Structure 1
Amino acid sequence: MKEYIGIDLGSNSLRCVRMNKDFEVLGEYEETIRTAEGLEENKVIGEAALGRIIKALKKAKEVLNITPNDEVIALSTQALREAKNRDFILRSIKEATAISFQVISGEEESFITSLAPQRAVLALSQKSLKYQQECFLLIDMGGASSEFIFCTPQGIFAKSFAVGIVSVKERYGSIENLLAHKEEIISPIRDFMQQNAKEGRVAKFLVANSGTPTSVCAMKLGLKVYDSKKIFGMELQRSDFEEQLQKFLLLCQEERETLWGIFKADVVPFGILLFLSFMEVLGSKEVLVIDEGLREGAVMARVYGKI
């Protein structure tokens, strides 16, 4: 059976998956690489970030045993959309790893990202009446952008906002300053929600598939080693985010980095507060967490003939 490699080069993480045409996951690889480091200030991806990207891709090729016979669908998002040196970065990656990346638009990202969660929600709806609803809202909060995606029987209706866990950290510097500027972050999102409500789209429940909600799930479960299968289908309340944030802030820097790594630990509180802000503006008290997104969607879109 033919196999595919889906690669998501995000603004904070590199996520890779090996799947067959029936969308069975045969292998996974993920690493925090901080692609968007410094991007907020100078609009270029630096040499250090490029080095981390290339090193992680080489490791992914080893872990997933990627060969020239595999069909690789490699996509990149907001960081590469913004970077002035995008062509140089893409050329350097290809020369070092033989992997060619396609930089997709926010609209394309929303569509591809929504494919796997829609499939997952359909499966969950067979077991729970709670998810047998025609419209839900998917939030994919990344390092430099966040996509808000209404999933309906008529298709998706989405918007990408240039705000993410790395960009807000670099833009505001502290969680206190982030909270002081919360209104300027959520105001455009509120406008988007109100416009969709006028057009008859009202989400019956909220779904998230990004690193912050999945990390909060892992923290709540006390996982020492991340396991996406244990995360799948978990529900988080606002109080879970607040509780895990307080526990995180009580840790010393060494403990934070031991648990989450040097390139993730410093953005965890920003991610939690940003997601709480999203839940607040949406009026949502809970969120369904699914650890499937762009990398799985890349394979699904290729199999479906969409890309």
Structure 2
Amino acid sequence: MAAIDCGTNSIRLLVADLPEASAGPHSQLTDLTRRMEIVRLGQGVDRTGRLAPEAIERTRVALASYAADIEKLGAERVRMCATSASRDAANASDFTEMVQATLGVAPEVVTGDEEARLSFTGAVRGLPADAKEPFLVVDIGGGSTEFVVGDRAGGVRAAISVDIGCVRMTERHLSDDPPTPEQVAAAQADIAAAVDRALAVVPGREAATLIGLAGSVTTVVAIAEDLQEYDPERIHHARVSYDAVAEVTEDLLARTSAQRLAIPVMHPGRADVIGAGALVLRVIMERAGMPSVVASEHDILDGIAWSLQPASR
């Protein structure tokens, strides 16, 4: 099966072998390839309401390469989900036509609720048995952040998507490099208001474990763990304290993009927006009263793959 997650900042591919449903809830998928490209599809969407032609073209180039991998690996089914930027754009049809022509299937512009549920499935499957429930799963994307509360047995209890993300907050507030204290304060206030709205719908303060998804979280955790190269195996299920997240966030917001780029674990396409992403994580931990966050390398991409699982015979 092939799963593609196209967000505001990145486009990612997972091709995997999936077990039959009869294999049980603790069975795992077998990765054949995972890929990620920063294409910044949501460039300027918050300001213009439209997808930029150059952003669509960057996405097409990455998608064409993914399509070649999918064909080479012989995937039997393909599902592509497009998220925040595609929901917001007035010219979303241009994007849809490009995907159909390049990949041979149409993208599903999933709702915020479906996005949250896919993220929860991907994150919770494979958690250590001693991880305390219920879980608050937060998926910090480029344009939006999903909040989901649930447990293993009952699944999702409540979910919401709010329009705070690393690209959107950078474009909206953090215009200087590095951002001024006034810009950071404005971003923090905007984020806090959105987080409080989310926590009024999703009972995140009642959760026992916070699980953080996506590149902003995994990068912050990698920096907090002082990794000298990005190592998914060491990041996956690493637990980092609020104090460590706050320290990393303050440091990132004080640096220029060029200085952030010099950090060993930093992806080049994330250096200009990681400060905002870290700030979103820190504010969520503050407002939800979470003393630590567990990072997960498995997220909505894995949830998309699991949604293709063959039915039990």
Query: TM exceeds 0.5?
Result: yes
Q: How many angstroms apart in 2 are the aligned matches of 1:53 and 1:170?
A: 20
Give the TM-score, by structure 1 length.
Answer: 0.86
Higher mean alpha-carbon deviation, 152-161 vs 266-275, is at: 152-161
Matched with 2:94 is: 88
1:41-56 superposed matches below 5 A: 41-56=47-62
Matched with 2:161 is: 160
Q: How many angstroms apart in 1 are the aligned matches of 2:246 and 2:297?
A: 21
Of 237, 242, 248, the residue aligned with 1:244 is 248
1:1-307 superposed matches below 5 A: 4-22=1-19, 23-62=29-68, 66=72, 70-121=76-127, 124-125=128-129, 128=130, 131-133=131-133, 135-152=134-151, 153-156=153-156, 157-174=158-175, 175=179, 176=181, 177-197=183-203, 202-248=206-252, 253-257=257-261, 259=264, 260-303=266-309
**Counterpart residue identity of residue 7, structure 2:** G
C-alpha contact 1:168 1:178 (8 A) present in aligned 2 = no
Offset, 1:97: 3.9
Distance verdict in 2 for CA 1:26–1:241, change over 3 Å:
same
Q: Give per-residue Cα distances to partners, 1:125-148, cap 9 Å, x unaligned.
A: 2xx3xx142x11000010001000
Q: How many angstroms apart in 1 are the aligned matches of 2:235 and 2:47?
A: 35
Offset, 1:172: 1.1
Give the TM-score, by structure 2 length.
Answer: 0.85
Q: How many angstroms apart in 2 are the aligned matches of 1:300 and 1:180?
A: 39
Q: How many angstroms apart in 1 are the aligned matches of 2:184 and 2:246?
A: 16
Distance verdict in 2 for CA 1:33–1:151, change over 3 Å:
same
**Counterpart residue identity of residue 257, structure 1:** L
Q: How many angstroms apart in 1 are the aligned matches of 2:2 and 2:8?
A: 19
**Counterpart residue identity of residue 82, structure 2:** S
Distance verdict in 2 for CA 1:201–1:216, change over 3 Å:
closer
Q: How many angstroms apart in 2 are the aligned matches of 1:187 and 1:250?
A: 23
Q: Give per-residue Cα distances to partners, 1:27-66, cap 9 Å, x unaligned.
A: 1101111111100111111111111111112233445654
Distance verdict in 2 for CA 1:83–1:296, change over 3 Å:
same
Identity of paired residues, percent? 23
C-alpha contact 1:29 1:64 (8 A) present in aligned 2 = no
Q: How many angstroms apart in 1 are the aligned matches of 2:104 and 2:245?
A: 40
Q: How many angstroms apart in 1 are the aligned matches of 2:119 and 2:39?
A: 20
**Counterpart residue identity of residue 93, structure 1:** V
Distance verdict in 2 for CA 1:163–1:235, change over 3 Å:
same
Distance verdict in 2 for CA 1:222–1:132, change over 3 Å:
closer
Offset, 1:99: 4.4
3-state SS of paired residue (1:26): strand
Q: How many angstroms apart in 1 are the aligned matches of 2:259 and 2:193?
A: 35
C-alpha contact 1:218 1:226 (8 A) present in aligned 2 = yes
**Counterpart residue identity of residue 138, structure 2:** I
**Alpha-carbon RMSD:** 2.4
C-alpha contact 1:150 1:201 (8 A) present in aligned 2 = no
**Counterpart residue identity of residue 13, structure 2:** C
Distance verdict in 2 for CA 1:165–1:150, change over 3 Å:
same
Distance verdict in 2 for CA 1:59–1:218, change over 3 Å:
farther
3-state SS of paired residue (2:269): helix
Distance verdict in 2 for CA 1:249–1:189, change over 3 Å:
closer
